[in-house]
Amino acid sequence: MLTLKAHKDNVLLCYMRTGKKEVPVFWHPIVDKSLRNTVDDLGCFFGKEDFRDQFEISEEQSDIIKNSLITNDIPEKHQSKHFKIKKYIGECLVSEMDISDQSATFEIRFPPDKQWAASEIICGGSGSGKTHYTVNRIISNLTGKPNNRRKFYYFSAEWNSDLTLNKLKEDRFKDAVTGIDCGEEAVEMSEYENAEQFFINEVKLRVDNADKSSVICFDDPSDMSLGMTHLVRTLQNRLMRVGRHRGLGLMFLTHNLRGGSWTAQCSNSCRYFTLFPRSQSAKVRDFIHRDLGLMLGEARRAVKIFKQTGRVMRVRMHSPNAIIGDKFLMLL
């Protein structure tokens, strides 16, 4: 169940942030009424047209059932709807959080005290916001508490040309961010004879000597110089499997959720699948339905909600399973 109350058995899912104020959001392994979230106004449910359509009730019936839930005076005429809605609201309070009517947002951060950052695949079409999301996630860490700051290695075929990456090139981040352009032109103009030598000296050597707690970012590696893409793929898959033993996290940006050998290891090793439902809603719906086991109707509802409440949705693949958006959070 979801809870905002501290408990020794809780697992931290994310933070709910409003300005400088932040509240941790936890998962608790069992349903405990003493830890359950509450709502001050049932109007957050009954006031929505989608809610009334879902239960096929009119505004008049909605007011009657709302009052019956508050007073616990069950109307005979609407007894069936009363208990269905009561059950639904009870389930929502333990498995969902909707803050779309607030200025707060849900945030996922790298673990504190430089613990292993896990692996994350960031998948979306061109212009969906992959690089923007990644840059903001990195900057959030580098401008946070000093003892939580990490080193980042960013490998991209567009490091020298992608304007979104300019924020990472600011002087204040020069000691924390190492960026390498791995595009065809950059490799040809380098001092190395071929792409393999470039990979060994500019990519593999840096990864092999990266400090513990560092995060390795591969931005669309399939677009890198042709002579090194297979080497990058092998290194990336190895980091997914054993990077945790060295404390190395991974961020993998790609266009295709079904990327064959590029993404085959992700389902087994990545903690987060970060998706952009506004740009690839059908693919995201199918992923939630087929890979996460939600019924097709539930998958459609989830995609619709996350499209309306934010641009990004992060599917937590490791236990506890959840989907975390900017304004909406649901357990799976």
Write down all domains in the chain, each with its CATH number in brackets. Answer: 2-98 (no CATH), 110-275 (3.40.50.300)
Strands across the sheet containing 11-18 = 2-3, 21-27, 11-18, 105-107
Average pLDDT, the chain: 90
Statement: the pTM of the whole predicted model exceeds 0.85? yes
pLDDT the model gives residue 188? 94
pLDDT band of residue 43 (cuts 50, 70, 90) is: low
In this prediction, residue 58 carries a pLDDT of: 83
Q: Which of 29-33, 37-41, 75-79, 146-150 has the highest mean pLDDT?
A: 146-150
Could you give the CA distance from residue 42 to residue 137 in angstroms, rounded to a whole number? 35
In the sheet with 152-156, reading across from the earlier edge strand, the strands are 96-98, 328-331, 322-325, 313-316, 272-275, 119-123, 249-254, 215-219, 152-156, 177-181
Average pLDDT over residues 162-167: 95
Q: In angstroms, rounded to a whole number, what is the distance separating the alpha carbons of residues 309 and 322?
A: 16
Q: What is the pLDDT of residues 71-94, one digit of tens each?
A: 888 887 788 888 888 888 888 888
45 pLDDT more than 90: no
Give the pLDDT score at 280.
83
**Which of 98, 97, 58, 96 lies closest to 78 in space, CA to CA?**
58
How far is the C-alpha of 280 from the C-alpha of 282, rounded, in Å?
6
Where residue 44 falls among pLDDT bands split at 50, 70, 90? low
Distances 169 to 140, 161, 162, 180 between C-alpha atoms, Å: 15, 12, 11, 11
